[in-house]
Amino acid sequence: MDSLVVDGLGKCYVLARETESKATRSFWQRLKSPLGADPAGVAREYWALKDVSFRVEPGTILGVIGPNGAGKTTLLKILARVITPTTGRVVGVGRVVSLLELGAGFDPDMPARENILMNAAIVGITRHEAQERIPEILEFAEVEQFVSSPLRHYSSGMYLRLAFSVAIHMNPQILLADEILAVGDSGFQERCLQKVTELGRRGLTVLFVSHDMDAILRICNRVMWLNRGELRKAGDPEEVVDEYQNAVWSEADIAPSERGRRSNRLAEILTVRLVSAAGRDIGGAPASEDVFIKIRFRTVRPNLLVKCALDLATRGTLIFRTSDAELRPLRDAGVYEALARIPRDLLAELTYVATVGCIFRKEDEPKEFPLLVYNALSFMVYATEQPDIPTSGRLDRVGVIAPRLEWTVREEVQVVRA
Amino acid sequence: MSALRRLFGLGAAVPASGEIAEAGYQKWVIEPVRVGLIARARELWRYRRILWFLAERRIKDRYEDTTLGIFWLFARPLMPIFISTIIFGRFLGVPSDGVPYFLFFLAGSSCWRIFERSVQWVTRSLDQNRGLIKKVYFPRLIAPISSVAPAVTEGGILLTLLVLASVFYYFHDGVFYLRIGLPIVAALVAVAMAMLLAISVGLWSSVLQVKHRDVQYSIRYFTQLWQYVTPVFFPLSSVPPKYHLAFFINPMTPIVEMYKWGLLGIGEFPGIELALGVGVMLLIFGTGIVYFNNSEAASVDRL
């Protein structure tokens, strides 16, 4: 008896072409189709997921890997019933609990208790039963002393611990976890992974989406690789991860974007990734550590010069644009990587989107060849420290960035005039 | 016929409720075509607990930033009623079926307010719950249903005012205008019907609101017009008979009439009119459910 049978699953989005978006449609056009989709010819289809089929046995920890835009999140959202598939069918057994995004299903204005009860209601657990589990949930999440403070005072690490703890205490038969475990201090991450492994042995089926190949290899007993909405390979973790990583090295994995330009006659941007100081791919950035944005590109001509730049945006607002201070020479044609260090304690606990650009030119010609990848990377910054309760909120760092400045406090030197 | 069967989920390809898989857990199916109405209704019942959470949240949203507190809650709805009492009751001499115009208007408008505000909240319900809707699953129908909560509290406030005002008139005129006894039930039924009608209208408007963001403003305009074909600040007895049809196609007319009859004992119990109104309401409700159900997936994609 399979825990999950997915058959020919597909999700199609109908996109309005940007130039003919709603705002610019004429009154007459709107009159002709006031309620329906955009008139034929204006709409464009985009398959986020295409004909994906697989089966999962109970107790399987299935890792789902693939580049951004591969359809991993779409798959999980369909299984969580948040979105409805366009084609295909899923048959599953038992309660599904999802950890799709940090804070999903939580109300920041309510305290932990109320949130636990609400989540219990969402998965269909009675109030009485939920109340009995509250102490256990709080204990695993290590947030007992903050039961009564609203979640908005929580750090993202605490948020995650609570979310994970709530999820596993809802007695799911199927757990859907999207990247979320990438966030959190290493100690808790360790405990999460252990817990997931343990529950897996007891028959819990887990779909675990991550960019962290170490974690995937450690806990998964099967791995599925999605690429541009299609199932590329599934099977033994070592094998699939190896092949995936080789492929990433040899080909571009950035989903084609409407705007921007990924390749020109001099070079091509292959990947844009967030990596730790150790060079490991990471899905989220710990606020207290340096992280790097790594742009991999391939040049097809020798003797080029390059200058890379980066836009960081959050909530739709550009925070800053920054570029390399100099033009770097690229002697031979080949694959290069550019690393931009984002210093620790600079970014706030938010999700950021990076747009990257590189300008190439030949050494002997002034003509520039720019490349640009819009929204090449999105990542979340999380803090693991607990908020300072005595001054809670009021003195925290707020805003779109949260740099820690160097402060000194000293007594004023009295200048005594004789 | 097969379309009809699908609509009502009679032969839908869902495992019958209670079909239990080998391991003892419930088996479920996800398909592009959502299951029929009967299965949805069952599901709605299973998820009923979320209703209270969402309702509570909406009420909090509504009253969180009321700094003047309890005084303001009562003062705010009272102001327009005082003004209307002076203009319609005093200046224009609008008849009020033998009760003080202030009470007459308070009664009519408390019922109307519940409806009008419900429609406004329900229209925005998908938008307002989008954080939850886009992240977790629950039957989407819970969003519009729970959104009548703030309107109910508002109606409750007006009703409290009505009771207080009646006590005042008792000492002033020596007559206690409120009815005590069984007819009160009719007033409660009227409130329930006003809410159901608001939800029915909202099933359409909330989906349209997701598609066209300006629906919430048009609906406000639309309900304002609607109020004029509902006997809120004038009695039905002052409407010339040739306009009665227009009034009774509007399901709010018998509802408001029944409410006033039950509460103040004025006017007549609307019999045939009520049946007609219920018919119109069920029509809006039924088509609304089907429309909401069919647009659900697209609405979530669009949110």
* pTM of the predicted structure, to 2 decimals: 0.71
B131: buried, middle or exposed (CB in 10 Å: 19+, 13-18, 0-12)?
middle
pLDDT at residue B10 tops 80: no
**pLDDT of the residue at A297:** 92
Interface contact flag, B135 A101, Cβ < 8 Å: yes
Q: Compute the average pLDDT of residues A313-341.
A: 88
**pLDDT of the residue at B11:** 36
**pLDDT of the residue at A293:** 93
B91 and B55 part of one domain: yes
A319/chain B closest Cα distance in angstroms: 24
Contacts with A410 (C-beta within 8 Å, 6 or more apart), sequence order: none
**pLDDT of the residue at B68:** 64
Nearest CA in chain A to B48: A121
* Domain membership flag for residue B42: no
CATH number belonging to domain A4-249: 3.40.50.300
Question: What ipTM score was computed for the predicted complex, to two decimals?
Answer: 0.75
Interface contact flag, A83 B301, Cβ < 8 Å: yes
Per-residue model confidence as pLDDT tens digits over A213-260: 777 888 888 999 998 888 888 889 888 888 887 776 554 444 444 456
The total of structural domains in chain B comes to 2
- Encoded tokens for B36: 């029929």
B1 and B133 part of one domain: no
B15 and B145 part of one domain: no
Q: In which domain, by residue range, is B16 found?
A: 1-35
pLDDT at residue A340 tops 90: yes
**pLDDT of the residue at A114:** 86
CATH T-level topology, domain A254-382: Coagulation Factor XIII; Chain A, domain 1 (2.70.50)
pLDDT tier at B96 (50, 70, 90 boundaries)? confident
Mutation target vs B (from A78, A81, A351; most B CBs, 10 A cutoff)? A81
B143 and B8 part of one domain: no
- Encoded tokens for A270: 């292959």
pLDDT at residue A351 tops 50: yes
Contacts with B45 (C-beta within 8 Å, 6 or more apart), sequence order: none
**pLDDT of the residue at A184:** 62
Interface contact flag, A104 B135, Cβ < 8 Å: yes
CB-based contact A40:A75 (threshold 8 Å): no
Please check whether residue A16 touches B, CB under 8 A. no
**pLDDT of the residue at B95:** 78
B15 and B122 part of one domain: no
B2: buried, middle or exposed (CB in 10 Å: 19+, 13-18, 0-12)?
exposed
Q: What phi, psi does A261 have (nearest 5°)?
A: -145, 125
Q: Compute the average pLDDT of residues A70-87.
A: 89
CA distance A75 to A228: 12
pLDDT averaged over every residue in chain A:
81
Q: Compute the average pLDDT of residues B143-165.
A: 87
CB-based contact A52:A75 (threshold 8 Å): yes
B105 and B21 part of one domain: no
Per-residue model confidence as pLDDT tens digits over B11-21: 333 433 333 34
A308 three-class SS: strand
**pLDDT of the residue at A18:** 45
pLDDT tier at B66 (50, 70, 90 boundaries)? low
**pLDDT of the residue at B193:** 92
B178 and B244 part of one domain: yes
pLDDT tier at B303 (50, 70, 90 boundaries)? confident
B31 and B110 part of one domain: no
Distances (CA, A) of B194 to B25, B67, B161, B247, B258: 41, 30, 19, 16, 11
Q: Compute the average pLDDT of residues B115-126.
A: 91
CA distance B35 to A382: 40
Q: Which helix (H) or strand (E) holds A304?
A: strand A304-314
Range in A258-262, A304-308, A328-332 the model is least confident about? A258-262
Q: Which residues pair with A356 in a beta bridge?
A: A310, A373
Residues in A closer than 8 angstroms to B52, CB to CB, are 121
Residues in A closer than 8 angstroms to B34, CB to CB, are 84
Strands (DSSP E) found in B132-227: none
pLDDT tier at B42 (50, 70, 90 boundaries)? confident
Range in A332-336, A375-379, B222-226 the model is least confident about? A375-379
Residues in B closer than 8 angstroms to A79, CB to CB, are 30
B17 and B72 part of one domain: no
Distances (CA, A) of A188 to A83, A115, A162, A201, A268: 30, 21, 11, 20, 39
B22 and B141 part of one domain: no
B22 and B170 part of one domain: no
CA distance B246 to B237: 14
Per-residue model confidence as pLDDT tens digits over B271-301: 888 888 899 999 999 999 888 888 887 888 8
Which percentage of chain B shows pLDDT scores above 90? 13
**pLDDT of the residue at A36:** 47
CA distance A178 to A80: 11
**pLDDT of the residue at A337:** 92
Distances (CA, A) of A67 to A12, A77, A212, A266, A273: 19, 17, 12, 24, 10
pLDDT at residue A294 tops 90: yes
Residue spans of the domains in chain A: they are 4-249, 254-382
First vs last C-alpha separation in chain A: 94
Interface contact flag, B47 A124, Cβ < 8 Å: yes
Strand order in the sheet with A4-16: A43-56, A4-16, A87-93, B27-30
Nearest by CB to A93, from B25, B32, B132: name it. Answer: B25
B164 and B27 part of one domain: no
pLDDT tier at A416 (50, 70, 90 boundaries)? confident
A287 three-class SS: coil
pLDDT at residue A25 tops 60: no
